[in-house]
């Protein structure tokens, strides 16, 4: 790495101080002659110094300011810029994107110009985006959702990008939608839940909303219907994919039936292939059967940075990317996701998919959010646990929720453990970390504690 761009600080993180500790040469080196013993390839550190004095940074000799970088561009002629651009190739790596870390340590995904620009373009077309649209973006730009499906998507359509806040805040997003008359809003399910649950939700005028993408985690049908009705977002779409696929592989359509819009992730985007395979044999399963979803096409990553072994485990010799997700495909190509392969619970020989249980429990009128996962059990191998977050001001008991499930889902799918919580462990992008929930639950169960 030859160059590093940073902001001075974000929330409790002081990035300038971190770098000064890692690279003490920054305190005495000239900005254009940086030489670090620990990082010999690094030549320049650019810091974005905002105009607001409260957020500015003390000048350090080794840092190049954002303003200085922009000024340096004045010395580059159009001919020089064209010459540099001509050296680029559509398949060059342009981005190393880290996965969200919902199942463990994030992996470094290498993506090309061809990957992300095409994905943004076809996503914009699927959403019928034009220069008249205004997109509120509460998702971070350092993940594919914000980078590709917000920044590049708006660029490809000439649409307006509205940034409500530096980090997600439900009130700020609702305010931005109302004041800027946004026609679209993106978010993961937990963000939409937070907006709908905001105590002053009904005071915001959201009538300008038309569409947006809900993605990044399973989207309960009941939540989709609330967003369509209560947020007036009648064309809200479910998106599905992963960082390794640039990221979008499937998207519902505004022309789909309500059932397909709320119960499936739609069909694959143009110029992409998808198949469903048996987990053990890797052979394609019949229409309607559950298996692992696999992708192939322009959108597949170049690989995991510096990890050929992990790349080979994920992308086979024929270019098929194994998603790690379980699902089925109908005769018209619509895909229904049933859960993560690693999250599948095997209880007494029965394969149980948490997504099905979560979608059902979410329909309880007192439930604001729910996450289901497996914990070890000496008799059954695994038992079901549900963490439940209730709407503000509500109270409920374990038996009340179990009675709600009885006769509506199979008896062996009713969670043995139901814990009521105020919040879930999450990534910074708002995705639930079930591996952390499992770790916390196992510690408390082994200690003989409840919640």
Q: Please write the tens of the pLDDT for every residue from 131-188.
A: 999 999 999 998 899 999 999 999 999 999 999 998 899 999 999 999 999 999 999 8
Total tally of structural domains belonging to the chain? 3
Which residues of the chain have a pLDDT value below 50?
A: none
Same-domain pairing of 104 and 196: yes
The predicted model scores a pTM of: 0.81
Q: Which of 303, 319, 340 is the last residue of a domain?
A: 340
Summarize the chain as % helix, strand, coil (round to 5).
35, 25, 40
pLDDT for res 59: 62
**Residue 424: inside a domain:** yes
**Residue 174: inside a domain:** yes
Same-domain pairing of 301 and 363: no
Same-domain pairing of 315 and 331: yes
**Residue 405: inside a domain:** yes
Cα dihedral: 237, 160, 230, 198 (round 10): 110
pLDDT for res 100: 66
Same-domain pairing of 335 and 350: no
Which domain covers residue 387, as residue numbers?
344-446
pLDDT for res 190: 87
DSSP label of 376? E
Residue 180 belongs to domain with CATH number? 3.40.50.12780
Q: Which of 70, 86, 102 is the last residue of a domain?
A: 86
Same-domain pairing of 335 and 307: yes
Same-domain pairing of 122 and 36: no
* Largest separation between any pair of C-alpha atoms in the chain: 73
Same-domain pairing of 273 and 125: yes
Residues 316-326 pLDDT 10s: 999 999 999 99
Same-domain pairing of 122 and 226: yes
Same-domain pairing of 186 and 270: yes
Query: Is residue 378 exposed (0-12), middle (13-18) or buried (19+ Cβ within 10 Å)?
Result: exposed
Neighbouring CB atoms inside 10 A of 442's CB total 13
Q: Which of 86, 105, 127 is the last residue of a domain?
A: 86
Cα dihedral: 316, 319, 322, 323 (round 10): 150
Pairing of strands 381-390, 417-420: parallel
Same-domain pairing of 153 and 72: no
**Residue 409: inside a domain:** yes
What Rg value do the Cα atoms of the chain yield, rounded?
24
pLDDT for res 55: 55
Same-domain pairing of 133 and 280: yes
Same-domain pairing of 249 and 115: yes
**125-150: string of b/e by CB count within 10 Å (b at 16+)?**
ebbebeeebbbbbbbbeebbbbbbbb
**Residue 451: inside a domain:** no
pLDDT for res 216: 81
Phi, psi of 39 (to 5 degrees): -130, 75
**CA 253/CA 234 separation, integer angstroms:** 11
Peptide bond connecting 247 to the previous residue in cis, omega within 30 degrees of 0: yes
To which residue do tokens 């919040």 refer?
A: 423
Torsion sign across C-alpha atoms 136, 142, 147, 151: positive
**Residue 115: inside a domain:** yes
pLDDT for res 427: 84
Q: Which two tokens stand for residue 299?
A: 């959108």
Residue 434 belongs to domain with CATH number? 3.30.300.30
pLDDT for res 415: 95
- Give the DSSP H/E element, type plus range, for residue 311: helix 308-314
pLDDT for res 51: 55
SS (H, E, C) 52-81: CHHHCCCCCCCEEEHHHHHHHHHHCCHHHH
Contacts with 17 (C-beta within 8 Å, 6 or more apart), sequence order: none
């Amino acid at each position: 790495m030859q160059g590093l761009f940073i902001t001075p600080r974000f929330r409790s993180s002081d990035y300038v101080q971190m770098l000064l500790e890692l690279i003490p040469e920054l305190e005495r080196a000239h900005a254009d002659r940086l030489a670090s013993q620990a990082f010999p390839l690094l030549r320049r550190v650019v810091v974005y110094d905002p105009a607001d004095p409260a957020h500015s940074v003390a000048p350090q000799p080794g840092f190049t300011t954002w303003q200085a970088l922009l000024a340096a561009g004045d010395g580059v002629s159009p001919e020089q810029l064209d010459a540099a651009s001509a050296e680029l190739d559509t398949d060059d790596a342009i981005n190393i994107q880290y996965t969200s870390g919902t199942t463990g340590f994030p992996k470094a995904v290498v993506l090309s110009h061809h990957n992300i620009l095409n994905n943004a373009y076809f996503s914009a077309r699927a959403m019928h985006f034009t220069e008249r649209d205004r997109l509120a973006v509460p998702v971070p730009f350092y993940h594919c959702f914000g980078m590709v499906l917000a920044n590049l998507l708006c660029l490809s359509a000439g649409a307006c990008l509205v940034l409500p806040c530096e980090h997600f805040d439900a009130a700020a997003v609702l305010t931005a939608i109302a004041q800027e008359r946004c026609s679209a809003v993106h978010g993961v399910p937990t963000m939409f839940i937070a907006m709908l649950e905001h105590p002053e939700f009904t005071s915001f005028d959201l009538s300008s909303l038309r569409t947006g993408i809900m993605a990044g985690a399973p989207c309960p049908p009941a939540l989709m219907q609330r967003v369509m009705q209560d947020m007036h977002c009648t064309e809200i779409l479910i998106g599905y994919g992963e960082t390794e696929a640039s990221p979008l592989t499937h998207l519902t359509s505004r022309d789909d039936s309500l059932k397909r819009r709320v119960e499936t992730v739609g069909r694959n985007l143009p110029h992409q292939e998808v198949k469903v395979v048996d987990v053990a044999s890797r052979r394609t399963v019949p229409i309607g059967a559950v298996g692992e979803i696999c992708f192939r096409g322009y959108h597949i990553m170049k690989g995991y940075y510096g990890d050929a072994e992990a790349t080979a485990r994920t992308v086979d010799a024929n270019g098929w990317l194994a998603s790690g997700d379980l699902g089925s495909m109908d005769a018209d190509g619509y895909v229904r996701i049933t859960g993560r392969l690693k999250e599948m619970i095997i209880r007494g020989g029965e394969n149980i998919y948490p997504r099905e249980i979560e979608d059902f429990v979410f329909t309880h009128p007192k439930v604001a959010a729910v996450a289901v996962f497996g914990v070890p059990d000496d008799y059954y191998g695994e038992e079901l646990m549900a963490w439940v977050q209730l709407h503000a001001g509500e109270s409920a008991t374990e038996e009340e929720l179990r009675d709600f499930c009885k006769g509506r889902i199979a008896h062996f799918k009713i969670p043995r453990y139901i814990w009521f919580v105020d919040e879930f462990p999450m990534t910074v992008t708002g995705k639930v970390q079930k591996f952390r929930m499992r770790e916390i639950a196992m510690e408390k169960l082994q200690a003989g504690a409840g919640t």
